[in-house]
Amino acid sequence: MQEILKKTGRGIVLAAPSSDSGKTMVSLGLGAALVRDGASVQYFKCGPDFIDPTLHRLVSGRVSRTLDLRMCGPSFVRQSYAQHCNADFVIVEGVMGLFDGGEASTAALARTLALPVVLVVDASACAESIAALVHGFESFDPQLTIAGVIFNRVGSDSHYRLLAQAVQEHCRAVVLGGVPRHDDFLVSGRHLGLHMDYDEPLSSERIGRIADVMAQHVDLALLREKGAVLPEIRGQAERISNTAPCVRLGIARDAAFCFYYEDNLDMLRAAGAEFIVFSPLADSKLPDDLDGLYLGGGYPELHAEALAANRSLREEIGRQAKAGLPIYGECGGFMYLCEALVTAEGAEYPMTGVFPVKARMQKRLVRLGYHTATVTKNTLWPEGARLFGHEFHYSETDPMPDWVERMYRLDDDRLEGFCLNNTLAGYMHLHLGSTPEAAAHLIEFCRRHGLEAQ
């Protein structure tokens, strides 16, 4: 049984013609300006991105949710969106160019959520031709509404007037403003994207300056007017009681391990997990009485020396793995479970030694893209389950010995999901939106192990 909680505000999808148009910084600036004006702002992120949502949280004070049609499917995307859009204004930040990505594109997400698009256009090398670009985006998909345009990296007032006049004369979209080139709108990046909130790339003072620029150069009232009315928020009238023992799941969360989909965590909690947070960088031992470990992705390569120096924790994790503690590691977590991590410069640092291979950083991207994994044997995930995820990594491991079991068959016919005892790990970041039963299976697996260990 559900109840309607409240009527909410308005929302948009913020998109761009291409990557590197500045949509993330414009998105953060809009949110910061609206929050300063007293509005509540809820962010969502299109695509398999762990980084931008942490920056969204810095601005809004709210958890930003990942909406990915390829991994989660339309039903889960709509459900997550409807469950969490309880705010005065919602900003769904797009990925790459508006139409890039096929079924997982920003355009497909805008259609799925019935939201209008505000296009952020890099105007640094444009004059009147910008109208042809905007007009092309307007006409490319008749099912999509391009409600407004924000010019980014505008050179001067006269440059803005030239751009605005061209779009006003030839396009349906409303010109919402033009953001000048500004040092505060630059955030340094690295091999997996922008810096995250752990790196403190945006101080409160800098966020304030970004809000100032946005409030001065973008019509925020018109922006809110152009947003679509959000759906009514529905919540459970009654919580379903769970009498099963709670599962104490240790979760690594620090600057080295910080890639987690919030909806995954929610599903694990709903299945009975109590997250016990620890830091492989700072804690000398694991929390007591754990039923399992979850080692997410992140940047172990940037903290390899500190991880290696924490010998007591590395060795304890190795002992627990041999003793059969359920452990799940993704990408960076998988690298930490290897024998050693070798940097791109050749420096070698010992890790936990669960898997008898070394993870080696490369100077070029090793693998990028979506994959589907079919689980071939009952383990932390249920046999026969089809799991959906994404790979994005600059490291690769030495060839895994044949005696280490493979639990996944990927859609490109690779065998992955390496398993020793009850430790399961691999490079693919999974999103459980399409397979919530897998979350319940993992927690029940840990629960049974905990009861058997007593």
Residues belonging to the active site: 331
Q: Which amino acid is at 319?
A: R
Residue whose C-alpha is closest to residue 338's, from 323, 349, 352: 352
User: β-pairing, 327-330 with 423-426?
Assistant: parallel
In this structure, what are the phi and psi dihedrals at residue 174, rounded to the nearest 5 degrees? -85, 135
Angle between helices 130-140 and 157-170 in degrees, nearest 10 = 40
Q: Taking a C-beta distance cutoff of 8 angstroms, is the pair 391, 369 a contact?
A: yes
Helices first, then strands: H and E counts in the chain: 13, 28
User: β-pairing, 292-295 with 327-330?
Assistant: parallel
Cα 99 from Cα 109, distance rounded (Å): 10
Chain-centre distance for alpha carbon 306: 25
At 168, list the tokens. Answer: 């006003």
Cα 70 from Cα 372, distance rounded (Å): 10
**DSSP letters along 206-268, please?**
HHHHHHHHHHHHB-HHHHHHHSEEPPPEEEESSPPP--SPPEEEEEE-SSSEEE--HHHHHHH
Instruction: Kindly state the helix (H) or strand (E) to which residue 120 belongs, with its residue range.
Output: strand 117-122
Residues paired with 359 in a beta bridge = 341, 397
Range list of β-strands (E), 394-454: 395-397, 405-410, 415-420, 423-426, 429-431
Q: Taking a C-beta distance cutoff of 8 angstroms, is the pair 251, 294 a contact?
A: yes
Cα 454 from Cα 450, distance rounded (Å): 7
Q: Which amino acid is at 308?
A: A
Cα 160 from Cα 163, distance rounded (Å): 5
Cα 74 from Cα 84, distance rounded (Å): 16
Dihedral angle, C-alpha 403, 404, 408, 413, nearest 10 ° = -50
165: Cβ contacts below 8 Å, ≥ 6 apart: none
336: Cβ contacts below 8 Å, ≥ 6 apart: 252, 256, 257, 280, 295, 300, 307, 329, 351, 352
